[in-house]
Structure 1
């Protein structure tokens, strides 16, 4: 098995850390070889808050994935999220020396590199630059200008930024775990590559990924990424509400959410009751499924 065909993804989430191993097949698709996960105790709302706990969880998840896939994992592609992630739009322009020459990849590269040189707020850095559409000599709405002739080449770009310290802490955790980072990918972009088809992106689609500490959003239209966002709210908020509303332990609240949770209270049955074992011989606590749904809703 060629190591060039193997790819490993690492998702450092608020509630769990996952490592997944895949192999590119002859059709260009990814066959999953193995997956490992570990509880995440050092991440809050997508941001590393405890280096050692995060390192230990990464090592555990990677070890499980390596054993299941029979692959020696050294290099990983890492997802990044968190409330520090921002997105903005910017327009770039270059003037070419000879309008008779065809526009080539080097012209596109010049535009993209110009975007990477934008001055950010202190403590921020550019993570991704996505071309949206181009203008060639006042001809608007061009998706791929390569091969066209023109003097003035303009481009609209979707730029994603994040905190330098947040990215460095991710690199530090992965390195301390004995791994090398191949690249850092915004998690909603990675999710869209995994689950969205080209037809959906062309027609227009919003991808929403609700995690434990954050909710990721990516919006596509005409095959182009239009907007990305990371909202610092996730499933843990619901767990905390159930814990307080039902006066149960956090572990019990999470189990209630997973097994019996519903966001539509009107569809819950009036007479359906869940019995929670009492602590140290105390009476069991009875919780209405409808009340549980009202808390979640």
Structure 2
């Protein structure tokens, strides 16, 4: 089957590597087409310790998912975790030039993109910049600023960072396995998006991801 019709996730953990292939059905839900698993050899506490062993483990999981789904997997969304992951809070701002025009999605994108330019300690890179709350002209607080008036658009962000070397080694292993990385996502965040409803997130329900590493 053509891979463009599907999306593939690759979870690289310390005890196992899992590959899952799905597609959106007519109801807007993700239909699972195939799953592959392999023992994770070469990863310890989310950090690559042996490149070739990790590559071989990735290939085994992807091959199993390919056989189960009949999809030629070339591009994957990679889950990342480990002891090198850190987080911090930061407030960012984007100054607009025209009060007569409404705040657009492009304004929000510029604000979020600016967070990826944040100066971090040497050896760290930003994986996610997650807006938690928007503030318009130091007054109105909202979760959805698009369509509103205002010049100064700010937001409180939860910033997820990882060690540059560790992130690059994960990406290198995926590439050596013959795959392209479409994106990297923090594994507990991916689990929360998959399991928790919007109402549960709003109510403050927490999902605890206890890995094997």
Please tell me the TM-score bracket, short chain as reference: over 0.9
Q: What is residue 203 of structure 2 aligned with on the other side?
A: 203
TM-score in terms of structure 2 length: 0.96
How big is each residue's C-alpha offset from its partner over 1:164-193, in whole Å with a ceiling of 9 and x where there is no partner?
111110111011111111111110111011
Runs of 5+ consecutive residues of structure 1 not aligned to the other structure: 214-297
Q: What is residue 152 of structure 1 aligned with on the other side?
A: 152
Distance in 2 separating the partners of 1:108 and 1:82: 30
Runs of 5+ consecutive residues of structure 2 not aligned to the other structure: none
Q: What is residue 279 of structure 1 aligned with on the other side?
A: none
C-alpha deviation, 1:4, in angstroms: 2.9
If each structure's helix is expressed as a fraction of its own residues, which one has the higher value? 1
| Greater relative contact order (Cα < 8 A, sep 6+) | 2
What aligned pairs does 1:38-53 form with structure 2 within 5 A after superposition? 38-53=38-53
Q: What is residue 26 of structure 1 aligned with on the other side?
A: 26
Distance in 2 separating the partners of 1:151 and 1:73: 45
Distance in 2 separating the partners of 1:51 and 1:130: 31
- The alignment yields a C-alpha RMSD, in angstroms, of 1.2
Distance in 1 separating the partners of 2:116 and 2:182: 19
Distance in 1 separating the partners of 2:153 and 2:7: 36
4+ runs deviating over 2 angstroms: 1-5, 138-141
C-alpha deviation, 1:3, in angstroms: 3.1
User: 11-20 vs 89-98, which deviates more?
Assistant: 89-98
TM-score in terms of structure 1 length: 0.70
Shift in CA distance, 176/2, structure 1 to aligned 2, threshold 3 Å = closer
C-alpha deviation, 1:95, in angstroms: 2.4
How big is each residue's C-alpha offset from its partner over 1:77-136, in whole Å with a ceiling of 9 and x where there is no partner?
110001111111111122222212111122112211221111011000001111111111
Is 2:89 the partner of 1:89? yes
How big is each residue's C-alpha offset from its partner over 1:141-166, in whole Å with a ceiling of 9 and x where there is no partner?
21111111112221111111101111
